Structure 1
Amino acid sequence: MDSIRVTKYNPQYRDTNDVYTREEWTSFSDINKVFQGKLFSLNEYLLVEEKYIKAVKTILKEKNIKNLKIRDLEIYSEDLNLNLKEGDSIGSLNLNEVMKMILRENIWCKLVSDDYFEIHFGYDYYMYFVSNEISNRVIESVEEIEGLFVEKRKSSYIR
């Protein structure tokens, strides 16, 4: 089983214990806070969020996966009118919206395919891809997305 971690965090700022040492935003709720002397804006957040969505779509395309299912769904926002439930199939049409809800911490879930491919989302804007095989071509495709970093790391959410 292969697992990679895809994040906005440059690995050169990790210590020997894999702890990220730079002060950076870690969630949607950090918008309008100051990091490294700079105000973190909604526009900056949206640019990074779109890169995460692009990474997922890139991997799905490389692995020829058309649909994902919701597993282990947790709903955190009562304000949203969600029509999501455990086991729902997520196609390319609503993948963007589900990803945004996850990344903005309105919901949490794993996105899984029938042929053992999973996407896990961790705290602090971490994303993991888990599969029987993650080829170098897939990794290289994600690494081409400027501002994202790919590291071979086991997901903490593997059962």
Structure 2
Amino acid sequence: MQLPYVYRVTKYDPADRDEHGHYTGSEDTVSDHGEVEASYLQAVAAFAGDSGVDHLAVREPQVPSLAHFGVEPPVDGFGLDGLFPGGPTGFHDGAEVPLEIGLQLVRAMLRDNGAWCRLEAEGAFAVHVGWDQYLYISSSRPCEEALAHTRELGLFPERLDASPYAFEAEEEEQVIQRPGDDDFWADLHRAVVTGQAGILEETYLEGASRWHHLTSDTIDPVRAGLAPRARLAVWPPLSTDIDAVLRALPADGLVEGVWQDDDGNIRNAIAEEDEFPELAARISRAHAAALLSVYAGESVPLCTAVLPDNDGVLRARWRTEPTPGDRDWALRQPQG
């Protein structure tokens, strides 16, 4: 839902922009970790207060995967340490946080610590951070007091039609998104028992995933331990022919290795060609393994799903890339 009042809040004086809107002044594009950063956070608090909001929901959270593109280097824990009672696992889509924790997340994003998300109060307020200390705030109210306070802080709020970082859903989904509901898990159990499926990839944050070994005995414990609203991908069993897996290692490019250690845990690593020797060494000691291409369309899971909330409603906005198995499932669903 697009809120009616959208503002870009920055430390950049509009008078220092050229005819294309590009900033030409002397302000740095990184956080000062001090007074200016504190002003940004005070501005967010002021807009939230004017909007009648004291709690926020984490939406579309992400962390760096292959590369970190922030100006400042990432930090251990991606800036999440100490923010959630249960640790970083509390950082998931739909997590409700008090405004104070929301401000700490905004601080982490301003500092390019690694973690990123949208923070929202449905129908009332939203805030997220873009590149180069650009802050975007949306509200159901004009927030005139917050605007005045933000200017007093030395920042520059500017009205926009929409944030360039607002979530954009597909206008019309080509394939219905399958929920990870009871029917999905019943189908998965059958696929595991018949030997078609063997591992489950859980993407719990954009840029972060973990893998689970599936047997008829482990499916229920795996399901119980998944992060809320995670994206799921079901893959065939790993191969115990380790020599064949190693022979399939490409000469160059990127590849994801997935393997099962002797302790039964599933490990994975995305490697570039100069890291292939280390990846090969790890796989050579594995009980079973597989190599997956990271390039679109080259390695396709059997099927995918997104976890619904406990009431059965699919509130996550992110979607999985439909597979042939997903399309077959969608065709079997009642129309209309």
Instruction: Quickly say closer, same or farther: Cα 1:139–1:115, change in 2 above 3 A.
Output: same
Q: What is residue 32 of structure 1 aligned with on the other side?
A: none
For residue 68 of structure 1, what is the amino acid of its counterpart? L
For residue 66 of structure 1, report the CA deviation from its aligned partner.
1.1
Secondary structure of 1:61 counterpart: helix
Q: Which has the higher contact order (CA 8 A, sep 6+)?
A: 1
Separation in 2, partners of 1:54, 1:8: 13
The percentage of counterpart residues that share the same residue type is 28
Q: What is residue 4 of structure 1 aligned with on the other side?
A: 7
Q: What is residue 51 of structure 1 aligned with on the other side?
A: 39
Q: What's the CA shift string for 1:3-33, capped at 9, x where partnerless? A: 11110111110112111012431124xxxxx
Q: What is residue 109 of structure 1 aligned with on the other side?
A: 117
Q: What is residue 66 of structure 1 aligned with on the other side?
A: 54
Structure 2: any 5+ residue segments left out of the alignment? 65-73, 82-87, 169-336
- Residue 96 of structure 1: which of 103, 115, 119 is its match? 103
Separation in 2, partners of 1:111, 1:50: 18
- Residue 128 of structure 1: which of 133, 136, 161 is its match? 136
Over the aligned positions, Cα root-mean-square deviation in angstroms equals 1.9
For residue 78 of structure 1, report the CA deviation from its aligned partner.
7.1
For residue 94 of structure 1, report the CA deviation from its aligned partner.
1.8
For residue 21 of structure 2, what is the amino acid of its counterpart? D
For residue 39 of structure 2, what is the amino acid of its counterpart? K
Separation in 2, partners of 1:135, 1:24: 26
Q: Report if aligned partners of 1:7, 1:150 keep a CA contact under 8 Å in 2.
A: yes
TM-score scaled to structure 1, two decimals?
0.80
Pairing of 1:138-149 with structure 2 (within 5 A): 138-145=146-153, 147-149=154-156
For residue 122 of structure 2, what is the amino acid of its counterpart? D
Q: What is residue 79 of structure 1 aligned with on the other side?
A: 76
Pairing of 1:17-32 with structure 2 (within 5 A): 17-28=20-31
Instruction: Quickly say closer, same or farther: Cα 1:78–1:143, change in 2 above 3 A.
Output: closer
Separation in 1, partners of 2:141, 2:100: 26
For residue 106 of structure 2, what is the amino acid of its counterpart? M
Q: What's the CA shift string for 1:115-151, capped at 9, x where partnerless? A: 2311121101000111233243332232222x21111
For residue 6 of structure 2, what is the amino acid of its counterpart? S
Q: Report if aligned partners of 1:120, 1:155 keep a CA contact under 8 Å in 2.
A: no
For residue 7 of structure 1, what is the amino acid of its counterpart? T
For residue 116 of structure 2, what is the amino acid of its counterpart? W
**What is the aligned length?**
143
Separation in 2, partners of 1:58, 1:133: 12
Separation in 1, partners of 2:144, 2:118: 23
- Residue 119 of structure 1: which of 116, 127, 133 is its match? 127
Instruction: Quickly say closer, same or farther: Cα 1:21–1:116, change in 2 above 3 A.
Output: same
For residue 51 of structure 1, what is the amino acid of its counterpart? S
Choose 1 or 2 for highest CA Rg. 2
For residue 79 of structure 1, report the CA deviation from its aligned partner.
1.9
Q: What is residue 31 of structure 1 aligned with on the other side?
A: none
Instruction: Quickly say closer, same or farther: Cα 1:93–1:19, change in 2 above 3 A.
Output: closer
**The 10-residue stretch of structure 1 (51-60 or 90-99) with the greater mean CA deviation from structure 2:** 90-99
Separation in 2, partners of 1:60, 1:132: 10
